[in-house]
Amino acid sequence: MFNKTLLTILGFLIFHGPVQAHQLKVFAYAEQDRITGEVYFSGGQKLKNARVSLASLKGDDEIANTRTDTDGSFSFPVNVRQGYRISANSGEGHVAHWDVQMSEVIVSESEPDSLQPSNPASLPPLCEPQSGKLKTLIESAVSGQVAPLRAELQEVQDERRIQDILGGIGYIAGLAGLGMLWFSRRRGSRL
């Protein structure tokens, strides 16, 4: 009885790791008038042809959907400044979500039809703070520079580190020790 129970517990603990190794991840960021991202497993393997949907953070209604390309990447055009939820589904029961906050989304103002203004003196200069265009340009530039850093940070957080592995082994050994102590006291013997 003792051996079967111990083997069952150890089996569950040992095979729990591979389940987490195939956890689906999605990373997305706002880049000018688009939300761009990628879908991958926690080991770093990119997932191609996964279904990705875009919804508002305010509601659950799907705004758009697409599929990832061969690199696991996707992109959605956006024209409303609001928060968005990106959901990725591998079709095998794996689902992941990522929220893009409204403060990250930059939607440019609509451009005039004509490139030449009718009266150039009446237009505000590009560098005036009240024009709003300067703010949009700065947000766009900063977003473009920060997005790769955020992607790299997310990858580092998803990697398994040696201390994680050693910590898991120590956790399993501690549970096994507690189990052996419990069973030995139950029998009335001492270790």
Q: Which of 1-10, 58-67, 125-134 reaches the highest mean pLDDT?
A: 58-67
105 vs 84: CA distance, rounded Å = 9
DSSP state of 1: -
Nearest of 51, 108, 101, 46 to residue 77 by alpha carbon: 108
How many other CB atoms are found less than 10 A from the CB of residue 141?
Answer: 11
Confidence of residue 138 (pLDDT cuts 50, 70, 90): confident
170 vs 185: CA distance, rounded Å = 22
Confidence of residue 44 (pLDDT cuts 50, 70, 90): confident
Please name the residue that has the structure tokens 């926690």.
Answer: 42
DSSP state of 85: E
96 vs 69: CA distance, rounded Å = 17
DSSP state of 187: H
Nearest of 48, 52, 40, 55 to residue 88 by alpha carbon: 52
Angle at 126 between CA 121 and CA 127, to 5 degrees: 120
Q: Which of 34-48, 88-102, 104-118, 168-182 reaches the highest mean pLDDT?
A: 168-182
Confidence of residue 178 (pLDDT cuts 50, 70, 90): very high
Q: What are phi and psi of 64, to 5 degrees?
A: -155, 165
pLDDT tens digits along 154-176: 777 766 667 778 888 999 999 99
Secondary structure of 7-49 in the HEC alphabet?
HHHHHHHHHHHHHHHCCEEEEEEEECCEEEEEEEECCCCECCC
Map out the domains of the chain with their CATH numbers: 2-107+128-160 (2.60.40.10)
Please name the residue that has the structure tokens 């990119």.
Answer: 46
Q: Is 168 helix (H, G, I), strand (E, B) or coil?
A: helix
CB-CB contact of 177 with 64 (8 Å) = no
Query: What does pTM read for this prediction?
Result: 0.55
